[in-house]
Structure 1
Amino acid sequence: MPPGSERRLRRNNRLIVGTLAALAVLVTAGLVWTSSRLPDTYSVMGMGHAEFGGGPADPVHGGHAGHGWDGPPRQLGDRDVTGLTGPRDRPPDVAVELVAARDGDRYTLNGTTPGPELRVRQGDLVEVTLVNESVPDGVTLHWHGVDVPNAEDGVAGVTQDAVATGGSHTYRFVAEDAGTYWYHSHQVSHAQVRGGLFGTLVVTPPAGEAADHDVVAAMHTYGDGPTVNGRDGLRVDAAPGEAVRLRLVNTDNEVKRAWTADAPVRVLAVDGRAVHEPVPVTDAAVTLPAGGRVDLGFTVPAAGTAVRVELGGVAVVTGPAGAPDPPESEPPAETVDLLHYGTPAPLGFDPDDADRTFEYRIGRRFGLVDGRPGMYWTINGGMVPDVPMFVVSDGDVVRMRIENSGADNHPMHLHGHHAVVLSRDGEPATGSPWVVDSLDVGRDETYEIAFVADNPGIWLDHCHDLSHATAGLVAHLVYSGVYTPFRIGGPGANEPE
């Protein structure tokens, strides 16, 4: 072998090996990038994997991961979500038209943000016609906290197509449960809700309200700061001795606190469900998760002074006309603990006799989603699209353990159902049944909840910090034998989060 040829051969071999190694890395990275890509259009039924919680496996959903992005094939006898509607056979008791528009960086309904307050009686058949005047990305209306039939839930790509500019969509549902609720778009929701595409809904009992004053206060932060009902404060004239019911609605992504130093208050209801035997509290704040509602009750002092309820940067002041506004007060150190507030009452079902038990473990890690690198939320260890599909059957008693690994707090919202909180970090609930549709799971907290699967459909179970939802914190609760023809993306350009 000529002098130096052995060295050249070794150098060439190292070059070849290095080139092959680099090529292998590039090929692997390309495969990882390609596998992370989402199709332009797909069914949510094709996402992730089915979990059955110890209940009977559904062979159709059980194999849906192998069906590809179209999800399981439709089976004879499947219920189509389009058939799970409110009544169509009688005239409505309340009929409303809401016209959605975009005005610069704000969105409006009937020219205002928030949109109109809707107030109906329990048992009314409500008909709302949504008209999209000028929202370019399309729009829907989700009835947050109202356990409507699935077709009326207003989730683009799951229960309907987004309403395009110039189009309309009609929602019909019976307002079965009295309480405080709200409505908002579930199309590009992280931008449209923040931009003002929402309003409040109050369902009053047939006998009317016991309070002398029934007031809704929607807390929302626009680009220029916090507001209540779109203003920088709210004043309510009320005479000494009159009773006030203040319905607080948190339409932001963040936890809110409410408190007053001027009068004892009672927590009358949470997420539209009455608290059993609420007691007056002083020097304690009430927390509202994103999407949550709390009804407070208090009496205007006989001395004729006003009551100031602080909402974090804004306030509601209630008192006699001309009475001076009380000064701002600092938030108290104590918080009303709803795990032990009020007294026990029957649930109507036995959580200890559950048909299915699920885990909803929230984490966070680096990864690729749709070809984009970043930090993404995980559910049970998987990133979108590898998220659970929790499968239930009609009438199942369901328990769910929600564990937050500690990266942030998460206001978890289950569509179409209310759940009772059983425990927090292993500590059992001892007060009034704490019934929620929006539950803030704090850092390193674990909650157990339970509910009855009594509303067939395909339902989102997601974080209502909507920026978290866009980063993957979305799962679905699906009833066995329910099918949706709608798709994410596609002709409807559906983008629910």
Structure 2
Amino acid sequence: MRRSLKVAIASVATLAVLGPIGWFWRASLVPSRYDMAEMGYADFGGGPAGGHHHASGGTSVAALTGPSTGTPGVTVTLTARREGSRYTLNGQTPGPVIHAVRGQLVQVTLANANVPDGVTLRWHGVDVPDAEDGVAGVTQDAVKPGRSFVYRFVVSSAGTYWYHSHQVSDAQVRGGLFGALVVSGDAVTSDVDQVLAVHTYDGRRTLNGVSGLSSSDAAPGQMVRARVINTDSGPLRVWASSSYRVVAVDGRPVVGPSDISGKAVVVTAGGRVDLLFAAPGRVDVGAGAACSSPGVPAAPSPSATLDLLSYGTSAPLGFDPERANRNFSYRIGRRIGFLDGKPGMWWTINGHQFPDVPMFMVSTGDIVKMTISNSSGEVHPMHLHGHHAVVLSRNGVAATGSPWWFDSLDVADGDSYVVAFVADNPGIWVDHCHNLKHASDGLIAHLAYTDVTTPYRVGGSSHNRPE
């Protein structure tokens, strides 16, 4: 065979291989500036298309604010700083605990002292109006150094919540830009109320920023409410030294909680559980971190785990999931490919890689049913902004206990959950994995109301980078 023919055959073979790879590489590139609401494709879940958020007109996210008038019951200023590899709020990490009473108007001024990438604050678990949600490039622009931003919202549900940055969130939350928000006013009574924010700094697990053993000041016989907040990116096993009850999950009360012994409870990344027990007692969160009354010995992590699917007593939901008019699938997978030009193993949603992912479209008043399944090989803490959903079933087994309301839900590899909620908070809402590295690697979609638009953009001169 002549040399020229060999070269031609080799060239054709090379093009046959590299041509498709080049096409996939180019197709994976994410624009340097884009409207998050325009990415991917609209999924109407079998419901009416109605208006469309891509069309002109409609309601701007910027108009969906909290009350513009009225005297706040709680007023806080939080100043964000970059201090070496750490981020602080008012010079500390975690940031200050914000306390409020159900029904109060909360006003928080976020000031950026020197964080070069900009900052926002996201009110995790508080179903705020969309303009107060703190997602850079979707609900606001990131607050640049020397600037400030004011959040105003009413806390309508008592419970345990937290706040954190949603600008370069993987790095900033991991580095300490977060704090707790406690809203009192529910029916749970206790003598001592403790916030236990769990966070890992440089490989050390801490409670409220302190590694090792923290002290509880509860006197013997007093009832202790321990508000455990998982601010890390993976599931957390929590257990108590004595009998305890889970009285709330993700800021929602558990109906008819019973005593638990010899079992741990798993707290989803981003999630919260409230434990109630009598002192003296000890709460362990693993890796040597615990909060304890004096003299209470450590106990090994129980092998058994509480199943929230059957814990507590059933109660009305307030809506009928069987009348759902939007039915969505959120199938999480993984495959080899390119993400913004980078080769690797990337997450997929319904077989698509970011940015070609679904935009789940709803209208106000819709009843939504969503099946979340996972075949990716890893657990994913799924988190929908702006709404609480209820678990209807897991792997075909119906929920029988207290309504399991959540905003953060661990979906293990091989599991499938059917959940439901009412679309009652107009906006464009992130629906993503709260393992924030997974979100930055493309495990992120959105729930959008058909008549809502956003004036904000990811990238560009605003340098918005929500994940």
- Cα contact 2:111–2:149 (8 A) shared by 1: yes
Look up the match of 1:37.
29
Q: Does 1:198 align with 2:178?
A: yes
- Cα contact 1:228–1:314 (8 A) shared by 2: no
Look up the match of 1:311.
285
Shift of 1:436: 0.1
- Mark the CA change 1:114 to 1:392 in structure 2 (over 3 Å): closer, same or farther: same
- Mark the CA change 1:127 to 1:473 in structure 2 (over 3 Å): closer, same or farther: same
Task: Choose the corresponding residue for 1:489, options 434, 459, 465.
Answer: 459
- Cα contact 2:60–2:452 (8 A) shared by 1: yes
Look up the match of 1:264.
243
Look up the match of 1:375.
345
Look up the match of 2:328.
358
Look up the match of 1:226.
205
- Mark the CA change 1:396 to 1:17 in structure 2 (over 3 Å): closer, same or farther: same
Q: What secondary structure sits across from 2:322 in the alignment?
A: helix
Q: Does 1:288 align with 2:288?
A: no
- Cα contact 2:51–2:450 (8 A) shared by 1: no
Look up the match of 2:134.
154
Look up the match of 2:40.
48
Q: What secondary structure sits across from 2:442 in the alignment?
A: coil
- Cα contact 1:257–1:285 (8 A) shared by 2: yes
Q: What secondary structure sits across from 1:216 in the alignment?
A: strand
TM-score normalised by structure 2 residue count: 0.97
Task: Choose the corresponding residue for 1:342, options 302, 308, 312.
Answer: 312
Q: Does 1:170 align with 2:150?
A: yes
Look up the match of 1:66.
none
Q: What secondary structure sits across from 1:90 in the alignment?
A: coil
Shift of 1:59: 6.0
**Distance in structure 2 (CA, Å) of the matches to 1:436 and 1:401:** 15
Mapping of residues 230-249 of structure 1, within 5 Å: 230-232=209-211, 233-249=213-229
Shift of 1:91: 1.8
**Distance in structure 2 (CA, Å) of the matches to 1:317 and 1:370:** 44
RMSD: 1.4
- Cα contact 1:308–1:315 (8 A) shared by 2: no
Amino acid at match of 1:312: G
Q: Larger RCO: Structure 1 or Structure 2 (Cα < 8 Å, ≥ 6 residues apart)?
A: 2
- Cα contact 2:51–2:451 (8 A) shared by 1: no
**Distance in structure 2 (CA, Å) of the matches to 1:395 and 1:82:** 21
Mapping of residues 417-428 of structure 1, within 5 Å: 417-428=387-398
**1:155-197 superposed Cα distances (whole Å, 9 cap, x missing partner):** 0000000001111100000000000000000000000000000
- Cα contact 1:401–1:446 (8 A) shared by 2: yes
Look up the match of 1:452.
422
Amino acid at match of 2:41: H
Shift of 1:73: 4.1
Q: Does 1:98 align with 2:78?
A: yes
**1:292-311 superposed Cα distances (whole Å, 9 cap, x missing partner):** 000000112xxxxx311111
**Distance in structure 2 (CA, Å) of the matches to 1:220 and 1:154:** 21
Q: What secondary structure sits across from 1:181 in the alignment?
A: strand
Between the two proteins, the alignment pairs up a number of residues equal to 466
- Cα contact 2:130–2:139 (8 A) shared by 1: yes
Q: What secondary structure sits across from 2:382 in the alignment?
A: strand
**Distance in structure 2 (CA, Å) of the matches to 1:210 and 1:35:** 56
Shift of 1:315: 4.0
Q: What secondary structure sits across from 1:259 in the alignment?
A: strand
Structure 1 residue runs of 5 or longer lacking an equivalent are: 1-6, 62-71, 301-305
Look up the match of 2:360.
390
Shift of 1:444: 0.5
**Distance in structure 2 (CA, Å) of the matches to 1:406 and 1:30:** 25
Q: Does 1:466 align with 2:446?
A: no
**Distance in structure 2 (CA, Å) of the matches to 1:129 and 1:275:** 33
**1:140-163 superposed Cα distances (whole Å, 9 cap, x missing partner):** 000000000000000000000000
**Distance in structure 2 (CA, Å) of the matches to 1:478 and 1:175:** 23
Identity in percent: 57
- Cα contact 1:150–1:459 (8 A) shared by 2: yes
- Cα contact 2:159–2:186 (8 A) shared by 1: no
**1:339-367 superposed Cα distances (whole Å, 9 cap, x missing partner):** 00000111000011101110000000011
Shift of 1:318: 4.2
- Mark the CA change 1:469 to 1:206 in structure 2 (over 3 Å): closer, same or farther: closer
Task: Choose the corresponding residue for 2:277, options 287, 298, 302.
Answer: 298
- Cα contact 1:121–1:206 (8 A) shared by 2: no
**Distance in structure 2 (CA, Å) of the matches to 1:31 and 1:421:** 41
Amino acid at match of 1:449: V
Shift of 1:250: 0.2
Q: What secondary structure sits across from 2:140 in the alignment?
A: coil
**1:303-352 superposed Cα distances (whole Å, 9 cap, x missing partner):** xxx31111102444443xxx42x222111111111000000111000011
**Distance in structure 1 (CA, Å) of the matches to 2:278 and 2:168:** 41
- Cα contact 1:417–1:455 (8 A) shared by 2: yes
**Distance in structure 1 (CA, Å) of the matches to 2:466 and 2:126:** 18
Look up the match of 1:126.
106
Shift of 1:443: 1.3
Q: What secondary structure sits across from 1:97 in the alignment?
A: strand
**Distance in structure 2 (CA, Å) of the matches to 1:59 and 1:218:** 42
Look up the match of 2:49.
57
**Distance in structure 2 (CA, Å) of the matches to 1:436 and 1:87:** 26
- Cα contact 1:391–1:477 (8 A) shared by 2: yes
Look up the match of 1:85.
65
- Cα contact 1:236–1:316 (8 A) shared by 2: no
- Cα contact 2:86–2:175 (8 A) shared by 1: yes
Amino acid at match of 1:264: S
- Cα contact 1:406–1:442 (8 A) shared by 2: no
**Distance in structure 2 (CA, Å) of the matches to 1:141 and 1:496:** 11
Look up the match of 1:116.
96
Look up the match of 1:12.
4
Shift of 1:226: 0.3
**Distance in structure 2 (CA, Å) of the matches to 1:408 and 1:178:** 33
Task: Choose the corresponding residue for 2:193, options 176, 190, 214.
Answer: 214
Shift of 1:57: 1.7
- Cα contact 2:205–2:289 (8 A) shared by 1: no
**Distance in structure 2 (CA, Å) of the matches to 1:231 and 1:104:** 19
